[in-house]
Amino acid sequence: MDTLHTEPHVALIVEDEQYVRELAGALLEETELDVVEVETAEAALAYLKEQGGEVAMMFVDVRLPGEMDGVQLAKAACTLWPTMRIVLTSGDPDAASDDLPDCVTFMPKPWRGLDLLVQAERAIRDPQPPVT
């Protein structure tokens, strides 16, 4: 097992709609980030428990199947991995009014590919500062 500290280099996409997940994945594959795609918040948490330190950015839909939605996942990730950039997306404009933590950026659907790439670039070049 490699014990060397590596910079976060993964974009984790959490989206239940296959087309949207694949589109975001195809866009993010054009960046320096390695892309991991999952359909549920539970699958995302399982991945984060194993590889959370490697995730630079998480792109999360608000509405997800399962027990946990995207807002709950984003709040948990902000607490456990405070330097991760989190982009929350939804077709429901009211989803942004949920008291989102500072580490979460809201991007309404339909989002533009360029906006997603800008967020990925920020995740690579300017990680969230740890909460003090």
pLDDT of residue 7: 81
Angle at 81 between CA 45 and CA 32, to 5 degrees: 90
Helix (H, G, I), strand (E, B) or coil at 123: helix
In a domain, 117, yes or no: yes
For residue 3, tell me if it sits in a domain. no
pLDDT at 120 over 80: yes
- Write out the E strands in 43-129: 55-61, 85-90, 104-108
Average pLDDT for residues 26-50, to the nearest whole number? 97
- Identify whether the C-beta of residue 104 lies closer than 8 Å to the C-beta of residue 74: yes
In the chain, DSSP assigns E strands to 10-14, 34-38, 55-61, 85-90, 104-108
Q: Does residue 83 sit within a domain?
A: yes
| Residue 2 pLDDT > 70 | no
Per-residue pLDDT for 102 more than 90?
Answer: no
Q: Decide if 2 is inside a domain.
A: no
Q: What domain range is 33 assigned to?
A: 10-125
Confidence grade of residue 99 (pLDDT, cut at 50, 70, 90) = confident
pTM: 0.91
Query: Residue 35 belongs to a domain with what CATH number?
Result: 3.40.50.2300
Residue 28 resides in a domain: yes
Residue 27 lies in a domain: yes
Residue 5 lies in a domain: no
In a domain, 76, yes or no: yes
Per the structure, the count of domains in the chain is 1
pLDDT(43) > 90: yes
Residue 110's nearest CA partner among 5, 17, 4, 6 is 17
Is pLDDT above 80 for 83?
A: yes
